[in-house]
Chains A and B, each alone.
Chain A
Amino acid sequence: MQGQLVIMESDPDNIINEVTQSDYKYGFVTDIETEYAPIGLSEDTVRYISLKKNEPEFMLEYRLKAFRHWLTMKLPEWAHLEIPPIDFRDIYFYAAPKKKKQYESLDQVDPELLATFDKLGISLEEQKKLAGVAVDAVIDSVSVKTTFSETLSKYGIIFCSMSEAIQNHPDLVKQYLGSVVPYTDNYYASLNSAVFSDGSFCYIPKGVRCPVELSTYFRINAANTGQFERTLIVADEGAYVSYMEGCTAPQRDENQLHAAVVEIVAMKDASVKYSTVQNWYPGDKSGKGGIYNFVTKRGICKGSNSKISWTQVETGSAITWKYPSCILLGDNSVGEFYSVAVTNNYQQADTGTKMIHLGKNTKSTIISKGISAGKSNNSYRGLVRISKNASNSRNYSQCDSLLLGSACGAHTWPYIQVENKSSIVEHEATTSKISEDQLFYCQQRGMNAESAIGLIVNGYAKEVLKQLPMEFAVEAQKLLSISLEGSVG
């Protein structure tokens, strides 16, 4: 696992410029040869990881408990996904990436891949890195640099890798790790709890409004590895933080497993905004390769008047299984979920959210926009549960699906459970294709079909995209058009 955390200061003047020429400013990781745990999973692997990371005793115990529980669990099969069997004996659970096949020059790289990089605005040097062309720059993959650590420490904000947090802030980790997603939660969360290698940790102290947007950038480089990162964000009373997460994986061969866990704790009056642009490698046009993205993300609004907002743009991954959720425990707390999920070719996505209303006067909003193209299947699966004590709670859900092409599928599975007479829950959804009239209108004005669809799709997703921080929004818009490329006709 490799992760790099970079903090950016918002500079509105430069943003557009930066993004349009966009290389991955979130920092980059290149391969270095390192040792890794023996292939497969056993208690020894878990011990090995813990030892390697020089973890305190409680972490090892936590991992072992999780591992033993995981052994008793069965693969979940309820999702509307066709998941080829995963051989957990054939995965490196702890691997600084192994040296992979190298290209001698860019000429040997699939031109389609290069074209994609061009669209992303990645410089040639970066392209070489992405495509696996030998480069001489070597970056230490394990160490994590935070460019603004001084600024942050002034406010008392802790933002570091999970490994560092375990070393330097064991009390906080002990208190909050697994408090939102227990190690018994589900198959992949248990697995993650046992073998997670790194991730980021963020603590915003009481009353502090984090002055910059925090960002993590994840990347799977090596083949045959699973990536298991663990993120924990704690916003103490009255704190505010906006957190961004981006991911890419350029591999073109076999499928890889990504099973992350993200936990958010928002105390009284705290507010956390979590934005993701997920762009893991989705596999090629024939559905070969790509990342299996099985992620558990959950936040708890512990105190009253707290708020957690999830925004996600899901364009990558061969298979996505992801339900960022909010437990609205504190009175008057607010949960939000904004999602755009795009699937093309043979991609499969089963994604949505859970809003668990426990406190009084809690409110949640769900806006989900699914776009399916090619031969892909895109499902929204959501749960809104209003418990007996959550009086005067309110939920509004809207999940729309857009279908491009006659071979794709779009499905909507909303679960609505209300046990309370004073709450109001509304859900609506539509599924349709792009309106012929809109297409005609755009084409009549000289746009080709592809850019017309790009425009219409961006308009359709606008409601969600506008929730994203500026840097992400521009990138997400571009991603949308790239993801849908070749889906016309």
Chain B
Amino acid sequence: MEGVLKQNSTKEFFTGLYREHRAAITAGDYPALTIQRDNAIRRFEESGFPTTKLEAWKNTDLKESFSKEYDIVLEPEQGVDVQKVFRCNIPHLDTAIMGQLNGWYVSKDVPLMELGNGIIMGSLAEALKKYPALIEAHLGKYADSNTDAFTALNTAFFRDGVFIYVPDNVKSPKPVQIINVIHHDRNLFLQSRNLIVLGKNSRLSLVHCDDSYNHQPSFSNVVTEIYLGEHASLDHYKLQNLNNASTLISSVYFQMDTAAQLESHYISLNGGLLRNNVRQRFNGPHGDTKIYGIYLMDARQHIDNQVFIDHAFPDCTSGELFKGILDEHSSGVFNGHVLVERNAVRTNAYQSNKNILLTETAKVNSKPFLEIYNDDVKCSHGSTTGQLDQDAMYYLRQRGIGEESARMLLMYAYADEVISKIAIDPLRLRIEDMVKKRLQGELQICEACVLHCNTPEQPMEFVIDMTKL
């Protein structure tokens, strides 16, 4: 069961495909989900794919992404080699690993695990069969299919993805790692859906990696809904290391109840066109959110971070820090939006976006936007775009450090402000290493599988001639 999305094909293709395969797509649904899907495809039919005429897509043009042909696979493939998915794990990090291949959940043993402490993790498709009530309480409640065309399309079509449930008062003993690998010999258009539910007072660390294995073009439209119950706490990391022919539209929706705590990191190392839609809503007072992003782009890569924080309740705090280095012909977009609603008194919100442009052809669009409807707030934002500090450069050169090394050192120091916020030590060391490699142009996607997928026997070092110091 599949369709082929032709070049520049229109929304009619998807609406037609949905109608044709509706029975199969909705086979595992509870009744309300089918209604959601029907509504979503109708919304998508009205809006179509976004164009640069829309404010939210002004600086991200999907024309090139849509100029390719893609296969749309609506059934999981059989007989895939799941082992290679799990090669991409992070060394020295003791995690519970969940794998996804081309958008489908893959596992070494069972598709849905129920751990002793009540944590459920596994395939969303399986969970739909086994825990429909649990899923119905959350799925589609936070993702916005009404205004976001890609989310609407995802709601209509998703078949599988990752489901994690942490019950009340349970603290996950080790981080959970989701490895999402794209590996196919044809161009793929995939849409997966993840749902993560954290009960009251629960705690979870989640590392979510997107990787590609070869240079085949792909288009991923991934929607993740994350619910944090009262006093729940989540450490969330999203690593993106995709090939330059891939397009990734990742929409993450956070819903946070009273006094929930969130730290969310977006580490974008490679990818043709990356778009991170992060939408977070406070659904109770005393919530706290920190969102960090680092993006290192070169060639013709494009990164677009859209961060929306809705302060709907009083006494919440939010902070955003996004830093980027743009090399060669790459382009970056940062679009931060903090909304402070009328009754959200004693709000504290901070947005910061910093960019370094390394070439004449790299460009950046930054729009930190504050929308505030009450007076008892402390909100600020800042945005800078520039180059490496010439004084710092001079200082290092003066001390005998070669220009290239000095540049690396400064860029690394610049990126480290974000990386140092990573709380899990092995993960931070790993990412530090990856960033160093990335800055030296040595980080490959998994094809080479030398640097990324294997254990780094020799951690990256800066070459500094110590005799001259």
**B-side interface mostly:** strand
Selected from A388, A415, A429, the residue in CB contact (under 8 A) with B360 is A388
Closest chain B residue, CB of each to CB of A417:
B365
Query: Which of A31-39, A171-179, A234-242, A405-413 touches B?
Result: A405-413
Which of A160-168, A279-287, A419-427 contacts its partner? A419-427
Known contacts A416-B367, A418-B363, A430-B379; is A424 also within 8 Å of B372 by CB?
no
Total residues of chain A contacting the partner, CB 8 A? 37
Q: Contacting chain A: which of B38-46, B181-189, B380-388, B421-429?
A: B380-388
Given A411-B371, A415-B365, are A78 and B55 also a contact pair (CB < 8 Å)? yes
Contact A427 B370 (CB under 8 A): no
* Chain A CB within 8 A of B120 CB: no
Q: Please determine whether B386 and A424 come into contact, CB atoms closer than 8 angstroms.
A: yes
Are B370 and A431 neighbours in the complex by a CB distance under 8 Å? yes
Please determine whether A425 and B385 come into contact, CB atoms closer than 8 angstroms. yes
CA distance A422 to B387 in the complex (A): 7
A388, A411, A429, A432: the one within 8 Å of B382 (CB): A429
A388 to chain B: which residues have CB within 8 Å?
Answer: 360-361
Interface residues of B in 13-69 (CB under 8 A from A): 55
Is A415's CB under 8 angstroms from B367's CB? yes
Interface segment, B220-228, B351-359, B406-414, B435-443? Answer: B351-359
Interface residues of B in 327-368 (CB under 8 A from A): 342, 345, 355, 357-368
Interface string of A367-392 (1 = CB under 8 A from B): 00000000000000000001010010
Q: Do A403 and B358 touch (CB < 8 A)?
A: no
- Taking CB atoms, residues of chain B closer than 8 Å to A246 are none
* A-B pair number, CB within 8 angstroms: 122
Chain B residues whose C-beta falls within 8 Å of the C-beta of A391 in the assembled complex: 360
Number of chain B residues close to chain A: CB under 8 A: 35
A429 contacts B370, C-beta separation under 8 Å: yes
Task: Determine whether the beta carbon of A432 is less than 8 Å from that of B377.
Answer: yes
The distance in angstroms between the C-alpha atoms of A421 and B370, with both chains bound, is 27
A414 CB-CB contact with B under 8 Å:
yes
Contacts known (A403-B372, A409-B371); A427 close to B383, Cβ less than 8 A: yes
Q: Which of B243-275 contact A (CB under 8 A)?
A: none
Question: Shortest beta-carbon distance, B51 to chain A, in Å?
Answer: 15
- With the chains together, A421 CA to B380 CA distance in Å? 26
Closest to B371 in A: A411
Task: Give complex CA distance A414, B334 in Å.
Answer: 11
* Chain B residue contacts of A386, Cβ below 8 A: 385
In the complex, residue of chain A having the shortest beta-carbon distance to the beta carbon of B362: A421
Does A433 touch B at the CB level, under 8 Å?
yes
When A418-B357, A421-B357, A432-B377 are in contact, do A427 and B345 touch as well, CB less than 8 Å? no
Q: Mask for A81-105, Cβ within 8 A of B = 1, else 0?
A: 0000000000000000000000000
Whether B417 is near chain A, meaning CB under 8 Å from some CB there, is no
- For the complex, give the distance between the alpha carbons of A432 and B350 in Å: 12
Please determine whether B381 and A406 come into contact, CB atoms closer than 8 angstroms.
no
Q: Give the distance in Å from the alpha carbon of A80 to the alpha carbon of B371 in the complex.
A: 10
Q: A404 an interface residue at 8 Å Cβ cutoff?
A: yes
Q: How far is the CA of A428 from the CA of B354 in the complex (A)?
A: 11
Shortest distance in angstroms between A76's beta carbon and chain B's nearest beta carbon?
Answer: 13
B375 in contact (CB, < 8 A): yes
Tell me whether A403 and B382 are in contact (CB under 8 A): no
Report Cα–Cα, A423/B362, bound state, in Å: 12
Q: In the complex, what residues of A have CB within 8 A of residue B142's CB?
A: none
Q: Is the interface of A mostly helix, strand, loop or mixed?
A: strand
Neighbouring B residues of A420 by C-beta, 8 Å: 357, 360, 363
Asked if A414 and B368 sit within 8 Å, CB to CB, the answer is yes
Nearest-CB residue, chain A, relative to B360: A421
Q: Is the CB of A424 within 8 A of B387?
A: yes
Chain A contacts of B384 at CB under 8 A? 424-427
User: Which residues of chain B are within 8 angstroms of A422 by Cβ–Cβ distance?
Assistant: 387
The distance in angstroms between the C-alpha atoms of A424 and B390, with both chains bound, is 12
Q: Is B369 touching A406 in the complex (CB atoms < 8 A)? A: no
Query: Would you give the shortest CB distance from A168 to chain B, in whole angstroms?
Result: 45
Contact partner of B369 (CB less than 8 A), chosen from A404, A411, A417, A419, is A411
Is there a chain B Cβ closer than 8 Å to A401's Cβ? yes
Q: Which residues of A contact B363 (CB under 8 A)?
A: 417-420
Indicate if the CB atoms of B386 and A425 lie closer than 8 Å: yes
Among residues of B, the one whose C-beta sits closest to the C-beta of A395 is B385
Shortest Cβ distance from residue A370 to the other chain B in the assembled complex, whole angstroms: 10
Q: How far is the CB of A404 from chain B (nearest CB, A)?
A: 6
Partner of B368, one of A405, A417, A425, A427: A427
**Residues in chain A near residue B365, CB distance under 8 A:** 415-418
- B84 at interface (Cβ–Cβ under 8 A)? no
| Closest Cβ neighbor of B369 among chain A residues | A413
CA distance A80 to B339 in the complex (A): 13
Please name all residues of chain A whose beta carbon is closer than 8 Å to the beta carbon of B357 when the two chains form the complex: 418, 420-421
A162-196, CB under 8 A of B: which get 1 and which 0? 00000000000000000000000000000000000
CB-based contact A431/B385 at 8 Å: no
Chain A residues, Cβ within 8 Å of B360:
388, 391, 420-421
A308 to chain B, nearest CB (A): 23
Q: Is B465 an interface residue (CB 8 A)?
A: no
Give the residue among A405, A418, A429 with the most B Cβ atoms within 10 A: A418
Chain A residue nearest to B370 (CB atoms) is: A412
A416 contacts B375, CB within 8 Å?
Answer: no
How close is A20's CB to chain B, nearest CB, in angstroms?
A: 32
Which residue of chain A has the shortest Cβ distance to B343 in the bound complex? A406
In the bound complex, CA of A416 to CA of B374 (Å): 26
Q: Which residues of B contact A408 (CB under 8 A)?
A: 373-375
Residue of A nearest to B332 (CB): A418
B114 to chain A, nearest CB (A): 47
Q: Is the CB of A424 within 8 A of B385?
A: yes
Residues of A within 8 A of B364 (CB): 416-418
Q: A372 vs B359: C-alpha distance in the bound complex, in angstroms?
A: 41
Is there contact, CB below 8 Å, between B374 and A406? yes
Nearest CB in chain A to that of B368: its residue: A414
Q: Which residues of A contact B345 (CB under 8 A)?
A: 406
On whether the beta carbons of B355 and A418 are closer than 8 Å, the reply is: yes
Interface centre among A405, A421, A430, A433 (most CB of B within 10 A): A421
B378 on the A face (CB < 8 A): yes
Contact A406 B383 (CB under 8 A): no
- B376 on the interface (CB 8 Å rule)? yes
Q: Are A418 and B385 in contact (CB under 8 A)?
A: yes
Determine if B379 and A431 form an interchain contact, defined as CB atoms under 8 angstroms apart.
yes
**Within the assembled complex, what's the spacing in Å between the Cα atoms of A386 and B355?**
14
Report the minimal beta-carbon distance from B316 to chain A, rounded to whole angstroms: 15
Q: What is the chain A residue whose CB lies nearest that of B59? A: A417
Alpha-carbon separation in the docked complex, A132 to B383 (Å): 50
Q: What are the residues of chain B within 8 A of A425 when measuring CB–CB? A: 383-386
Besides A405-B375, A412-B368, 6 other A-B contacts (C-beta < 8 A): A406-B345, A406-B375, A413-B367, A416-B385, A420-B363, A421-B357
Could you list which residues of chain B lie within 8 angstroms of chain A, going by C-beta atoms?
55, 342, 345, 355, 357-387
Q: Which 4 A-B pairs have the closest CB atoms?
A: A403-B375, A419-B363, A424-B386, A416-B366
- Contact residues of A with B, CB < 8 Å? 78, 80, 386, 388, 391, 401, 403-433
Q: List 9 A-B contacts (CB under 8 A).
A: A388-B360, A403-B377, A416-B385, A418-B355, A419-B363, A427-B383, A429-B370, A433-B375, A433-B377
